[in-house]
Structure 1
Amino acid sequence: MSFDNVCKYLAAEYPEQFVSWLLGDSNTAIQILPTELSRQPIRADAVILLTNTNQILHLEFQTLPESNPPLPLRMLDYWVRLYREYERPIEQVVIFLKETTSVAAYTDQLSVGNTQHRYQIVRLWEQEATLMLANPALLPFVTLAKTDPTIVLAQVAKQIDMIEEVDQRRNISACVEILASLRFDKNYIRRFLREELMRESPIYQEIIQEGKRDTIIRQLTHRFDNVSPEIQQQIQTLSLDKLDALSEALLDFTNIFELTVWLQSH
């Protein structure tokens, strides 16, 4: 399950709420910028331009504290690419989703020789949930915030039921279910959230599909070292059923040619 994809969806769908939450600015015009940052492409999680202040908000969501390359180096790399592209002040925020005691979740800078680069860290488990509860865009994060675990799902479910627009209610419910599974058992979550509501959400299907694609590409890259962009593009076009079939078939592949043959036949 791709927790990052849920977060990317929320940041892209509700950028104003993230700007208000993280920068305390609720009266600025914004623009969503491309997340692929050029030459040898890397993709940021969310990039938002605050047009009134000519400032960029760059968000990265982390489920696990470890990353390769290490997070501080990645953040500097993102900053350089963003600044080279837009030449604007950049505010970077890393949001850690799952509670951890790892030093990485408490490291907010890269310091090597004369080079120093700082960014903000938000550890969700330290965030007060009260303000988030009143904001539909942030409801999926409430289950990971500093809350009473015995009542938080009931509180979130009540707020979801108050969302009037049907598609928004379905999508937020689906995002809540996925992120809440970082903290709670899925059967326990479904005692509070209506499963049919989540299953009817188009974004739920997209997130599941994207997560499976990402997992398969990582598995293939780990196994065969190099998976060409052409093959990755073919995998991106597969339906959910075919992704399921590929995830089983790849266990029997011994070389990249067998993967190519499989893709041609499907």
Structure 2
Amino acid sequence: MSYDSVCKFIAENFTADITTWLLGEPVELVRLEPSELVSSPIYADTLVALEDRNLSLHIEFQVEPKPDIPFRMLDYAVRAIRRTPEKAVRQVVVYLRRSRSPLVRQTVSERDSTRHEFQVIRIWEEPSSRFRELPGLLPFAVLSETRDRERTLQQVSRQIEDIGDRGQRGDVAASTAILAGLVLDKDLIRNVLREDVMKESVVYQDIVATAEERGRQKEGLSFASRMLKRRFGELPPEIVQKVEGLSLASLEQLGEALFDLSDRAALATWLQEHQ
């Protein structure tokens, strides 16, 4: 699970905590699917879209600054206004890792006579105390302004232990561990945060499932590559690249179809049909 995905998980499952931070009050917003804005996709990997009767809140969590962020803010705002013109649109870009790039201070999209403003939060400039007041904000504390990140992580760990709900405790612990990886050594994180607590989390379970899937994918690719080499000899790079891009299910299908493929041309046709 990526850093952006973890932030999306937090925003969607601890909405009241996130809105307390960003809006100054707990607002129970509901998740808005990006596909609900228009038929074409809209930055689904990094977009968090929440709304209620009066407000559409758009949050972009970013590890690294990107030049196209201002345009993305404008693009989303136009789509949101077109969909529900009666609602106010609030947009926040949250940068997670310290950067000296001037892009992290850019709060305006300007082109010709079009000007659009949005809010930017550089999380390393936010006081750590702000993120230790609510469970859903704890994972961000170690990224915030602090003189001793290890000590902050230890403090957060103790607060996590006090969360009564087991599932919520595990989700906060696992999210904290992932985001702390941006600024702290992974061995240190494992020494501070209890793995048995994290195992109760859907975030942790997703990470394990992804790792297992990648392991099966690697094994499937290795087996398919050996069989292809045995049947067709050394394959050209473009064929190898297509094989490496296959999903686990497609690799299994290739194994079943392998001996029905008469030559490299038939293999190339099969790969074209299963990309």
Work out whether the TM-score is over 0.5: yes
Counterpart check, 1:114 vs 2:113: yes
Quote how far apart the aligned CAs of 1:263 are.
Answer: 5.5
What residue in structure 1 maps to residue 142 of structure 2?
143
Does the residue aligned with 1:264 lie in a helix, a strand or coil?
A: helix
Quote how far apart the aligned CAs of 1:203 are.
Answer: 1.7
Q: Which has more radius of gyration?
A: 2
Q: Give yes or no for contact 1:5–1:207 (8 Å, CA) kept in 2.
A: no
Quote how far apart the aligned CAs of 1:7 are.
Answer: 0.3
Does the residue aligned with 1:143 lie in a helix, a strand or coil?
A: helix
1:215-226 pair list within 5 angstroms: none
The amino acid of 2:4's aligned partner reads D
| Distance in structure 2 (CA, Å) of the matches to 1:60 and 1:192 | 29
What residue in structure 1 maps to residue 229 of structure 2?
none
Deviation digits for residues 96-127 of structure 1, max 9, x if unmatched?
00011111111011111101011000111001
The amino acid of 1:242's aligned partner reads R
What residue in structure 1 maps to residue 258 of structure 2?
none
Task: Summarize the Cα distance change of 1:247–1:84 in structure 2 as closer, same or farther, 3 Å threshold.
Answer: farther
Quote how far apart the aligned CAs of 1:207 are.
Answer: 4.8
The amino acid of 2:140's aligned partner reads F
Q: Give yes or no for contact 2:132–2:141 (8 Å, CA) kept in 1.
A: yes
Q: Give yes or no for contact 1:6–1:207 (8 Å, CA) kept in 2.
A: no
Task: Summarize the Cα distance change of 1:97–1:86 in structure 2 as closer, same or farther, 3 Å threshold.
Answer: same
What residue in structure 1 maps to residue 264 of structure 2?
none
The amino acid of 2:98's aligned partner reads E
What residue in structure 1 maps to residue 47 of structure 2?
45
Quote how far apart the aligned CAs of 1:242 are.
Answer: 3.1
The amino acid of 2:74's aligned partner reads L
Gaps of 5+ in 1: 213-237
Structure number with greater CO (CA < 8 Å, separation at least 6) is 1
Does the residue aligned with 1:151 lie in a helix, a strand or coil?
A: helix
TM-score normalised over the length of structure 1: 0.79
Task: Summarize the Cα distance change of 1:240–1:150 in structure 2 as closer, same or farther, 3 Å threshold.
Answer: closer
The amino acid of 1:118's aligned partner reads E
The amino acid of 1:254's aligned partner reads V
TM-score normalised over the length of structure 2: 0.76
The amino acid of 1:92's aligned partner reads Q
Between Structure 1 and Structure 2, how many residues are aligned? 235
Q: Give yes or no for contact 1:19–1:57 (8 Å, CA) kept in 2.
A: no
Does the residue aligned with 2:192 lie in a helix, a strand or coil?
A: coil
Counterpart check, 1:71 vs 2:69: yes
The amino acid of 2:31's aligned partner reads I
Does the residue aligned with 2:90 lie in a helix, a strand or coil?
A: strand
Quote how far apart the aligned CAs of 1:138 are.
Answer: 0.4
| Distance in structure 2 (CA, Å) of the matches to 1:254 and 1:240 | 18
| Distance in structure 1 (CA, Å) of the matches to 2:208 and 2:76 | 27
| Distance in structure 2 (CA, Å) of the matches to 1:5 and 1:102 | 23
Task: Summarize the Cα distance change of 1:100–1:155 in structure 2 as closer, same or farther, 3 Å threshold.
Answer: same
Counterpart check, 1:133 vs 2:128: no
| Distance in structure 1 (CA, Å) of the matches to 2:8 and 2:179 | 12
Quote how far apart the aligned CAs of 1:14 are.
Answer: 1.0
Counterpart check, 1:23 vs 2:23: yes
Whose helix fraction is larger, Structure 1's or Structure 2's? 2
What residue in structure 1 maps to residue 253 of structure 2?
264
Quote how far apart the aligned CAs of 1:20 are.
Answer: 1.3
Does the residue aligned with 2:59 lie in a helix, a strand or coil?
A: strand
Task: Summarize the Cα distance change of 1:241–1:108 in structure 2 as closer, same or farther, 3 Å threshold.
Answer: same
Q: Give yes or no for contact 1:47–1:59 (8 Å, CA) kept in 2.
A: yes
Quote how far apart the aligned CAs of 1:209 are.
Answer: 5.4
Question: How much is the aligned-residue C-alpha RMSD, in angstroms?
Answer: 2.7
Q: Give yes or no for contact 2:98–2:122 (8 Å, CA) kept in 1.
A: yes
Does the residue aligned with 2:18 lie in a helix, a strand or coil?
A: helix
Q: Give yes or no for contact 1:76–1:117 (8 Å, CA) kept in 2.
A: yes
| Distance in structure 2 (CA, Å) of the matches to 1:105 and 1:247 | 40
| Distance in structure 1 (CA, Å) of the matches to 2:221 and 2:64 | 23
Quote how far apart the aligned CAs of 1:93 are.
Answer: 0.2
Gaps of 5+ in 2: 226-236, 256-275
Task: Summarize the Cα distance change of 1:91–1:245 in structure 2 as closer, same or farther, 3 Å threshold.
Answer: farther
Q: Give yes or no for contact 1:63–1:96 (8 Å, CA) kept in 2.
A: yes
